[in-house]
Amino acid sequence: MGKLKTFYSANSIKNFLQSEFQDQNIGFVPTMGALHHGHLSLIDRSNEENDITVLSIFVNPKQFNNPEDLEKYPRKIEEDLALLDHYGSQVIVFIPEVDDVYPKDFTSVNIDLGELATTMEGEFRPGHFQGVVDVIYRFYEILHPTRAYFGEKDYQQLAIMRFMVEKCGLEKEVVGCDIIRENSGLASSSRNFRLSEKDKQDALVIYNSLSKAKELAKDHSISEIKEMVKRNFENSTLELEYFEIVHPHTLRFLNEWVPGARACIAAFCNGVRLIDNMQLT
Ligand code: PAF
């Protein structure tokens, strides 16, 4: 097996893929680095389904509405490359600069994301999804992947990625992959690097609330479950930003149960914003 290849410019990776992998299936795993088991599971899935996997590491400034969040986002390029090393030539790493992703003549993708982007993450992180759409569209232009892999942890993002492909008529498959959790139940996330052991312990109120909601969904109403979760957070050190139970495809807030209903949650743990979700029914 050959060595891991790393590209730092859009032109160089574009030319390389065009000459070496034309007519082959390219799997794309977009990341912002600080890699963890969740990312590795996306790579493994992509490797199973494609001839080659391209993984991008790019902390996308456009999707951060809060400058402090952007500044504090974990950056661990050396560790990331060490973690990827054993994939050898099966994985190509793309680590572009901001000016290369967003050249002077860059214009935002002009699609109406509609209701999908106005609630939950869309409400509390204005502009976030436009930033995600912009960066992923640009990566699609550079890499021409056959399939792109996104974790279900960012459930709303995954729905928007599917919507974008359809709306823009892009011939790509968007593959959603299961949430990977630490043994405790805490969802794997790059942001976990910012948590102490105590924070991680405290943060379990998120997973525990979701699990309890799933258990209670059998014989309780949606409003009863929302009350229960609110109380759980009042008795914790975390600050709940939202807890919603939504339709699995439209993401509309539900008042009555439907099959596949999803609970989505965002909360601050010692200043670190965490999100998670779970299918309840
Ligand atoms: O989920 C993420 O890490 C980011 O939103 C993504 C998809 C890499 C786009 O910057």
Cβ of 148 closer than 6 Å to ligand 1, yes or no, is no
Condensed to tens digits (0 to 9), the pLDDT of residues 139-175 reads 999 999 999 999 999 999 999 999 999 999 999 999 9
Condensed to tens digits (0 to 9), the pLDDT of residues 223-247 reads 999 999 999 999 999 999 999 999 9
pLDDT bracket for residue 51 (50, 70, 90): very high
Which domains does the chain possess?
Answer: 5-177 (3.40.50.620), 190-274 (3.30.1300.10)
Residue 196: the pLDDT is 98
Give me the active site residues, please: 39
Residue 170: the pLDDT is 97
Atom 9 (ligand 1) nearest CA: 132
Cβ of 60 closer than 6 Å to ligand 1, yes or no, is yes
Residue 208: the pLDDT is 98
Backbone CA torsion sign across 164, 166, 168, 173:
positive
Which atom of ligand 1 is found nearest the CA of 63?
A: 10
Cβ of 154 closer than 6 Å to ligand 1, yes or no, is yes
Atom 5 (ligand 1) nearest CA: 132
Condensed to tens digits (0 to 9), the pLDDT of residues 98-123 reads 999 999 999 999 999 999 999 999 99
Condensed to tens digits (0 to 9), the pLDDT of residues 199-216 reads 999 999 999 999 999 999
Residue 231: the pLDDT is 98
- Residue 33 burial (CB < 10 Å; 0-12/13-18/19+)? buried
Who's near 214: CB < 8 A, 6+ residues apart? 263, 278, 279, 280
Decide: pTM greater than 0.85.
yes
Residue 1 has pLDDT above 90, yes or no: no
Question: What average pLDDT score do residues 248-258 get?
Answer: 97
192 C-alpha vs ligand 1 centroid, how far in Å? 15
Q: In what order do the strands lie in the sheet with 5-7?
A: 5-7, 91-94, 52-57, 26-31, 147-151, 173-177
Mean pLDDT of the chain: 97
Residue 37 has pLDDT above 90, yes or no: yes
